[in-house]
Amino acid sequence: MIREIRIEELFVFKKAILVDVRSEGEYSEATIPGALNLPLFNNYERAEVGKAYTQISPFAARKIGLNFISPKLPSLVERALKLAESGQLVVFCWRGGLRSKALAAILDLMGVPVYRLQGGYKAYRAKVLEFFQAEPAFKIIVLCGNTGVGKTEFLASLRREGYPVIDLEKLANNRGSVFGSMGLGDPPSQKAFEGMLYEELKSLAGFNYLIVECESKRIGKVTLPLSFYRAMQNGTRVLLFDSIPNRIARLVKEYSSVPNILTETDKALERLLKTLGRSKVHDLKELIRQENYPEFTEKLLLEYYDIYYAYPNEASDKYRLCLNQEDKEVLKQLKQMKEFLAEWSAR
């Protein structure tokens, strides 16, 4: 029996196996986070069905679609049966139309219990947009600091301790700088990013505060939802700082293993021509060609990053808490941060 469920019911569903039956192109652009792709039509087939629908008739489109689907049915059913071994199947398409209805009907005939999401991915997307239109119900602690001070690692340590940390750069697949995409592959679409951020926020709904790294409104190719960005701007700021040698060592370790580092760095440096000038960019490229990563990194820190971001490299009364990483006593820094969080969240 096919049971229709609303998007609100999906959020409390236990052990749901989400099955997105849209084409691989639609799925890769954005889906409900965690959903698996079981496409009824591939990209070409979807385009052909759509063309027939608009240029001939809905009936002609259905006939063409049936011809595409028929040879795939045994394989589709086998894959769906395998997925059903791990949990309850919930199928969806773009807006709860014929594609999800077709697969759900076939699975029902095979005796497989199946749920179908009303409104499809469109309903989920509407829920995400609605969420980010409202003012956040949580406060935000923003970890600030110049490039290379170890903010990401520090936040990861807090997250392992059970604190409500969201790694925005990980969600955006970008380190948040001119060189931020190096070695990371393709970024998510804006829709996919917002969906992942929404899921992270839902998972931390039991906390009255969140901890994030300070970011600009844009991280690589995605943009933070306006309500979330405003909450960050109004958040409590904590400063992390470290010595230049430690920062250089940390950045060299992270970036020197990037594949095709010469090509990737050349592309990134081209974007700094207006800021640094042709002569400085040429010198930086030469340092990379010589594999002189420490000097390259030091020049970038002193001549670009520290000027651009302009965070203090020492304790400052402009921040509610200042943490010095120079002594490398990470546990000591974490203890200070935990004490601060305990006091701050109790207010």
d(C-alpha 22, C-alpha 36), whole Å: 10
What is the pLDDT, as a whole number, of residue 334? 64
The fraction of the chain above a pLDDT of 70, given in percent, is 94
pLDDT band at 344 (very low <50, low <70, confident <90, very high): low
d(C-alpha 10, C-alpha 90), whole Å: 9
pLDDT band at 199 (very low <50, low <70, confident <90, very high): very high
Annotation says 93 is catalytic? yes
What pTM did the predictor assign? 0.90
What is the pLDDT, as a whole number, of residue 61? 87
pLDDT tens digit string along 111-157? Answer: 888 999 999 999 999 999 999 999 888 889 999 999 999 999 999 98
pLDDT band at 288 (very low <50, low <70, confident <90, very high): confident
Question: Stretch 252-265: mean pLDDT, rounded?
Answer: 81
Q: Is the pLDDT of residue 311 over 90?
A: yes
What is the pLDDT, as a whole number, of residue 328? 57
pLDDT band at 270 (very low <50, low <70, confident <90, very high): confident
Question: Stretch 311-323: mean pLDDT, rounded?
Answer: 91
DSSP string, 147-214: TTS-HHHHHHHHHHTT--B--HHHHHTS-SSTTTTTTT-PPPPHHHHHHHHHHHHHHTTT-SEEEEE-
pLDDT tens digit string along 49-63? Answer: 989 989 999 899 889
Catalytic residue among 93, 144, 214, 322: 93
